[in-house]
Chains A and B, each alone.
Chain A
Amino acid sequence: MYPDDLKYSDEHEWARRNDGDVVEVGVTHYAQDTLGDVVFVELPEVGSKVDQFDKFGEIESVKAVSDLFSPVSGTVTAVNSDLEQSPELVNSDPYGDGWIMEVKLDDPAELDALMDSEAYQEILE
Chain B
Amino acid sequence: MSSNGISAHPFIPNTPSEREQMLATIGVENFDALITDIPEDHRNPGLDLPASASELEVAARMQALAAINQDAGSRPSFLGAGAYRHFIPSTVGAVLQRGEFVTSYTPYQPEGAQGTLQTGFEFQSAVAQIFGMEVANAGMYDGPTAFAEAGLMAARVSRRNRILILDSADRRLFEVADAYSRYQQVTVESIGLDKVLDGDIPDDAACIAFQSPNFLGEIEDARAISDAAHAAGALSVMHTYPIALGMFKAPGQCDVDIATSEGQPLGVPLTFGGAYVGLFTAKQRFIRQLPGRIIGETADTNGRTGYTLTLQTREQHIRRERATSNICTSTQLIGLMVAVYCATMGPSGLRKVAELSYHKAHYLADQINGLDGWDANPNGRVFFNEFVATGPVGPSEINRQLAERGIIGGLDIADVVPGGMLFCVTEMNSRHDIDRLVNALAEIGKGGAA
Q: Tell whether any CB of A sits under 8 Å from a CB of B in the complex.
A: yes
Please give the residue numbers on chain A whose beta carbons come within 8 Å of chain B beta carbons, in ascending order: 39-40, 42, 60-65
Given contacts A40-B313, A60-B313, contact A65 B288 (CB under 8 A): no
Residues from 295 to 318 in B contacting A, C-beta threshold 8 Å: 312-313, 318
Taking CB atoms, residues of chain A closer than 8 Å to B319 are: 65
Is the contact region of chain B dominated by helix, strand, or loop, or is it mixed?
A: helix
A42: nearest chain-B partner, CB-CB: B288
Report the separation of the CA atoms of residues A60 and B319 in the bound assembly, to the nearest whole angstrom.
10
Shortest Cβ distance from residue B111 to the other chain A in the assembled complex, whole angstroms: 15
Report the separation of the CA atoms of residues A39 and B296 in the bound assembly, to the nearest whole angstrom.
14
Report the separation of the CA atoms of residues A65 and B320 in the bound assembly, to the nearest whole angstrom.
10
A62: nearest chain-B partner, CB-CB: B312
Q: List 16 A-B contacts (CB under 8 A).
A: A39-B313, A40-B288, A40-B313, A42-B288, A60-B313, A61-B313, A62-B312, A62-B313, A63-B312, A63-B313, A63-B318, A64-B313, A64-B318, A65-B313, A65-B318, A65-B319
Given A40-B288, A61-B313: 5 more A-B contacts, CB < 8 Å = A42-B288, A60-B313, A63-B312, A63-B318, A65-B318
Residues from 311 to 335 in B contacting A, C-beta threshold 8 Å: 312-313, 318-319
Range for the number of chain B residues in contact with chain A:
under 10
The 4 A-B pairs at the shortest CB distance, nearest first, are namely A65-B313, A60-B313, A65-B319, A63-B318
Report the separation of the CA atoms of residues A31 and B271 in the bound assembly, to the nearest whole angstrom.
51
Taking CB atoms, residues of chain B closer than 8 Å to A39 are: 313
Shortest Cβ distance from residue B329 to the other chain A in the assembled complex, whole angstroms: 19
Shortest Cβ distance from residue A90 to the other chain B in the assembled complex, whole angstroms: 15
Report the separation of the CA atoms of residues A65 and B319 in the bound assembly, to the nearest whole angstrom.
7
Shortest Cβ distance from residue B317 to the other chain A in the assembled complex, whole angstroms: 9
Taking CB atoms, residues of chain A closer than 8 Å to B288 are: 40, 42
Shortest Cβ distance from residue B351 to the other chain A in the assembled complex, whole angstroms: 38
Interface centre among B312, B313, B319, by most chain A C-beta atoms within 10 angstroms, is B313
Shortest Cβ distance from residue A80 to the other chain B in the assembled complex, whole angstroms: 18
A60: nearest chain-B partner, CB-CB: B313
A65: nearest chain-B partner, CB-CB: B313
Shortest Cβ distance from residue A11 to the other chain B in the assembled complex, whole angstroms: 17
B322: nearest chain-A partner, CB-CB: A65
Shortest Cβ distance from residue A81 to the other chain B in the assembled complex, whole angstroms: 14
Report the separation of the CA atoms of residues A65 and B311 in the bound assembly, to the nearest whole angstrom.
11
Report the separation of the CA atoms of residues A40 and B313 in the bound assembly, to the nearest whole angstrom.
10
Report the separation of the CA atoms of residues A7 and B254 in the bound assembly, to the nearest whole angstrom.
50
Report the separation of the CA atoms of residues A62 and B308 in the bound assembly, to the nearest whole angstrom.
11
Report the separation of the CA atoms of residues A64 and B312 in the bound assembly, to the nearest whole angstrom.
9
Shortest Cβ distance from residue B379 to the other chain A in the assembled complex, whole angstroms: 46
Taking CB atoms, residues of chain B closer than 8 Å to A62 are: 312-313
Report the separation of the CA atoms of residues A40 and B288 in the bound assembly, to the nearest whole angstrom.
10
Shortest Cβ distance from residue A24 to the other chain B in the assembled complex, whole angstroms: 25
Taking CB atoms, residues of chain B closer than 8 Å to A64 are: 313, 318
B323: nearest chain-A partner, CB-CB: A65
Shortest Cβ distance from residue B33 to the other chain A in the assembled complex, whole angstroms: 39
Report the separation of the CA atoms of residues A39 and B313 in the bound assembly, to the nearest whole angstrom.
10
Report the separation of the CA atoms of residues A61 and B313 in the bound assembly, to the nearest whole angstrom.
8
Taking CB atoms, residues of chain A closer than 8 Å to B318 are: 63-65
Shortest Cβ distance from residue A85 to the other chain B in the assembled complex, whole angstroms: 14
